[in-house]
Structure 1
């Protein structure tokens, strides 16, 4: 069973963990969950495809890039992921309603795309020790503006005790999935290769 002394151990391990881009493998065994339930399966066919996972969703640019009848498939990180901010007393980086499924769908439809699929989930994600929490704070600092380990030590120690008593601390990842299609009036001619937008920091 973890003791109070483990707090310093977990903190030290998390601070010394190597950050390698968008690699969260250090959390294996220390946190779990967060994956949405959907799986995307597009039917085969002669259409162009844009894949966007956690990238900036520029509706107007995507609209002009798609061939007539071309499809967009995107998974986005929403703005309602605030439980850890609230627990630690860290201000939210943005309005909780600034980037939701409804906001994204409206942007795509305003750009002339037809939305075929729209799904939104709050997927549970559980931290099993305070080191996993601190690693998360380091990995996505834009989610926790102004966070300083020393200034938030009291809140972290309270959360550490909560995790050790309850066996974990569960938050919910805000994710949404959209499949949309360009009309036959697209200015881009058919036959362009598919575009895969790599994962990365989404400013929303």
Structure 2
């Protein structure tokens, strides 16, 4: 049991830097089991295969701070990433420009600012919005969309702790629905894999950090608005140990027919 006070933990969570998409600040405060397939490695392999092919191009949509994309060992001659949130655009630019990846500020709403058939590979990790018609449009014939998406009811144990039951929203982002939407946009599903992984949250500072960073979980979150509920969660963790939630993920690979 931590001896740090509730108010101290709240202050720690509020002071944390939430720019970028690196969650290493949570080390020692929360853990998340990873899906078994290793998305970053698979992404790097696909980008590497394009790197030696003249005239190929890749696009990473909603790249966040570019941290995952930057793990790739090599890129094709033309490599682009989009991001909507200004602090993340700046972070991604610092990280990716030295690697030759152009970062484009884009509002994550259609249309993507690129020509039809411009990219051989389009990728994304945990996109907040998925516009299948646009993804299909910018793919070259025979091109591939490869991504890891957040699945249905992900981290809903935490979300519903603050917002109450959300039975309708629990169906959102279901992998079967997304596969149907991809097919409706003219893509062929090559692979679809799912995983449900365990999250353990060890203190309320981690909760404040997460809800400030992943703003769509509790859209109206502020510490003052939810202070009473945060205190309830703090007391629960003090009494029972880590707060347990589960993330859902799916790996999806879709191809535009040649």
Residue 10 in 1 paired to residue 82 in 2? no
Q: Distance in 2 between matches of 1:137 and 1:167?
A: 20
Contact 1:31 1:125 in 2 (8 A): yes
Q: Alpha-carbon deviation of 1:152?
A: 2.5
Q: In terms of mean alpha carbon deviation, does 77-86 or 38-47 score higher?
A: 38-47
The within-5 A match list for 1:1-204 is: 1-3=1-3, 6-40=5-39, 41=42, 44=49, 48-55=120-127, 56-81=129-154, 82-89=156-163, 95-184=169-258
Q: Alpha-carbon deviation of 1:79?
A: 4.1
CA RMSD of aligned residues (A): 2.5
More relative contact order, 1 or 2 (CA 8 Å, 6+ apart): 1
Q: Distance in 2 between matches of 1:71 and 1:145?
A: 33
Q: In terms of mean alpha carbon deviation, does 102-111 or 49-58 score higher?
A: 49-58
Gaps of 5+ in 2: 57-119
Q: Alpha-carbon deviation of 1:73?
A: 0.5
Contact 2:212 2:221 in 1 (8 A): no
| TM-score (ref. length: structure 2) | 0.63
Q: Alpha-carbon deviation of 1:90?
A: 5.3
Q: Secondary structure at the match of 2:9?
A: helix
Q: Distance in 2 between matches of 1:71 and 1:154?
A: 47
Gaps of 5+ in 1: 185-204
| TM-score (ref. length: structure 1) | 0.78
Q: Distance in 1 between matches of 2:219 and 2:18?
A: 18
Q: Alpha-carbon deviation of 1:163?
A: 1.4
Q: In terms of mean alpha carbon deviation, does 54-63 or 120-129 score higher?
A: 54-63
Q: Distance in 2 between matches of 1:127 and 1:116?
A: 35
For each residue in 1:128-169, what CA deviation from the matched residue of structure 2 results, as whole angstroms up to 9, or x when unmatched? 111111111111222102333234323222211221233311
Q: Which one has the bigger helix percentage?
A: 2
Aligned pairs, how many? 183
Contact 2:132 2:185 in 1 (8 A): yes
